[in-house]
A and B are shown apart, each in its own frame.
Chain A
Amino acid sequence: MRSKVVLVRHKNIFDSRGRLKRPSVTEALDAGLKALTGDRDSRDSLRSLFDASGAVALKSNCLSGRMLSTAPELAFSLAEELHVIGIKKSNVIIWERTERELASAGYSLNPKGGDFRVLATDSRGAGYSRSLFVSGKVGSLLSRIMTGIADFAINMPILKDHNLAGLSGGMKNYYGAIHNPNKFHDNNCDPYVADVNALPDIKNKNRLTVCDCTRVQYHGGPGYKPHWCEKFGGLLLSKDPVALDRIAYNILEQLRRKNGLGSLKEERREPKYIFTAGDDEHKLGSCSIEDIDFVEVGLS
């Protein structure tokens, strides 16, 4: 089966001070969702993916502070859309590994609900599973946000270079759901990223990836390095986590080339895990460009 990946780029997504404009972010998100599912209304796109009675966990990536994390403007735009299709606000959970990381990226914590919930695995009442989950070479405790709270998940990574993995995009973001990510960085995180994403609570619950490419760091990651960060003004969307990372890999390489850097392969940091995730053992999605319909949408 073919997979679809949508790239929306919005020329007018930053204001004059370099901050994201929320209406433009929402506009880009809507356009991306419609292009992804073929619906005329982005709410129909979301209805086709999520049951309104369920809880949806939005996994952000907030490791690198305000300038290189999943933008709150994007996370809350998506949260609003989910609410509009009938999901209770307290059933929309924006989350990360630690409260400290969320706060550093500009999120106000709201672990209890009443509004959209913003919480971390280290929030009181969350934590990790008590039993181990094993997949391939990975054995880990999983965030209870994924095992016990969420019925569905949306992965909301950012796109950046990673000194060990090569690329940190969608699948790598779920390292933030396990208790021992530091154990799985050898061999450019291969096959560990694929194994983590094959854990049933991730594989079966994750319905959508919305990758924040408003800023893309093409070198020097995972920490924020402004001189290697480009205002890309984009969002990547896909239902197929492998296909999304495959396209993200191309984008990262293009940016590296444009800026005079060698390829990840030349730097011996090729994100091999993307191809492992698409292999016959993992079958998590399409890793071959030939099997991916890549749709670009331009907004201004």
Chain B
Amino acid sequence: MSRIDRREFLRYGALGASSLALSSFPFGGKILDFCPRAYALELTGDLSTEEARYYKKLEESVVGCELCPRSCKVADRERGYCGVRENREGEYFTLVYSRPCSLNVDPIEKKPFFHFLPGTTAFSMATAGCNVNCKFCQNWDISQVRPEQTRNYYLPPKELVDLAVRYKAPTIAYTYSEPIIFYEYMYDTAKLGHTKGVRSVMISGGYIKEKPLVDLVRHLDAVKIDLKAFTEKYYKEVCHGELKPILECLVTLKREGIWTEIVYLVVPTLNDRKNEIEAMCAWILDNLGPDVPVHFTRFHPMYLLKNLPSTPVKTLEMARRTALEKGLNFVYIGNVPGHEGENTYCPECGKVLIKRTGFSILSNDVVSGKCKHCGKMIPGVWS
């Protein structure tokens, strides 16, 4: 069993905190060095046996998962698409409850959230697994593997919340892979966190059914959705997913009144056409309003998309310009440190409100949720 004991955890944790400037915490999917060969054996049998939520029992021991729109029908001994939910004799289990493989203390800007407690940290965690398979995934070594293939820690919700408190992180971020697939763990942690003053944010692709989403957001404080493209073709061919449920998810989030930001990874030749971006911005304006922040982020060759170049900065600038022209108020450029598109500008007076470079805040002129210069209310969660 590879469960790290608490003393060891805190010893490493202390190291992590002391090197926070490097954003390093010496264990986690990336930081722990993914190595299925070394870890596979140690972890066998150490998976969670927490019963999954949102499934129904079908005939002949088959279960139907109702957590995400993939609606997997899973036979006995098999797993759903995400690889972390298993049918055992007609009952469905999550294998990753309390089993994170990645832990880190990150700036909240790294998620990215630009209108949510800027300049604070988020205790960030993930388990193995994902319910889509994006060809550009930068965390595929945890998202596209089974939990036996990552080094997992035993960290129940209470201990996770305690750790966030210990590291003075006001927020827990469920991130890196796809939090929807560790729904039960996230839900229980977020709910418990609220009783201890710790907030929770989900960084997600938004591929979730409405009922579990509505139940969950009562315990969340913000959500970031990766809107990966604005065509079904892209979702099908590049992500093995669907666009429609993501749009429905965004509308539900709006209706539920939870703070939401959108990231759009601009991939050269695949989703970088101006008309597609225009159509997406028009949809956002109509359905979510002008104040939802949209981050156009830069793609770098990765995983199964190594044949494409990094996104030219001018393409990102075109996307940002297009969104601003369409009427969106808060449009950012991501993964280009030092670019002016990282800053927040007041939509009323045009002054720089929050000046950023990379994940650092250089100045912040949002005071009590308002522009310091003209008094305009700036949407977001500021305190």
Contact = CB atoms under 8 A, between A and B. Distances in A.
Contact of A182 (B45, B76, B81): B81
A97 to B, nearest CB: 9
Interface stretch (B142-150, B183-191, B261-269): B142-150
A17 interface: no
Interface of A: 63-64, 98-100, 121-128, 130, 132, 134, 139, 141, 144, 162-164, 179-180, 182-183, 185-186, 220-223, 225
Given A127-B37, A183-B133, A122 B78 contact: no
Given A122-B44, A183-B144, A163 B73 contact: yes
B173 to A, nearest CB: 25
Contacts of A163: 62, 73, 75, 78
A125 B38 CA distance: 7
Q: Which 8 A-B pairs have the closest CB atoms?
A: A127-B37, A223-B76, A122-B40, A182-B83, A163-B75, A124-B41, A139-B304, A128-B36
A182 to B, nearest CB: 4
Contacts of B60: 220, 225
A141 B149 CA distance: 11
Given A99-B44, A128-B149, A223 B75 contact: yes
Interface string B128-150: 00000101000000001110110
B80 interface: yes
B108 interface: no
A107 B81 CA distance: 29
A122 B82 CA distance: 19
Nearest to B85: A182
A144 B81 contact: no
A221 B75 contact: yes
B116 to A, nearest CB: 32
Contacts, number: 81
Given A99-B44, A183-B240, A223-B61, A144 B37 contact: yes
Interface in B315-335: none
B148 A139 contact: no
Interface in B28-66: 35-38, 40-41, 44-45, 60-62
A121 B40 contact: yes
A99 B45 CA distance: 10
Contact of B41 (A123, A182, A222): A123
B316 to A, nearest CB: 27
Contacts of A132: 303-304
A98 B80 contact: no
B77 interface: yes
A144 B144 CA distance: 18
B41 A99 contact: yes
B332 to A, nearest CB: 31
A185 B83 CA distance: 12
Nearest to A126: B37
Nearest to B59: A220
Contact of B40 (A127, A130, A139, A220): A127
Given A180-B144, A223-B61, 10 more contacts: A63-B77, A64-B77, A100-B44, A122-B40, A126-B40, A139-B304, A162-B75, A164-B73, A179-B145, A182-B146
Looking at A63, A123, A127, A222, the one whose CB has the most chain B CB atoms below 10 A away is: A127
A51 B342 CA distance: 62
Contacts of B148: 98, 122
B228 interface: no
Contact of A183 (B38, B77, B81): B81
B310 to A, nearest CB: 20
Interface string B293-306: 00000000001100
A183 B82 CA distance: 7
B199 interface: no
20 contacts: A64-B77, A100-B45, A127-B35, A128-B40, A132-B303, A139-B135, A139-B303, A139-B304, A163-B62, A163-B75, A179-B149, A180-B144, A182-B83, A183-B144, A183-B240, A185-B81, A220-B60, A222-B76, A222-B77, A223-B77
A64 B36 CA distance: 24
A223 B312 CA distance: 50
Nearest to A137: B240
A162 B60 CA distance: 13
Contacts of B73: 163-164
Contacts of B146: 179-180, 182
Nearest to A138: B304
B236 to A, nearest CB: 10
B39 to A, nearest CB: 8
B230 to A, nearest CB: 23
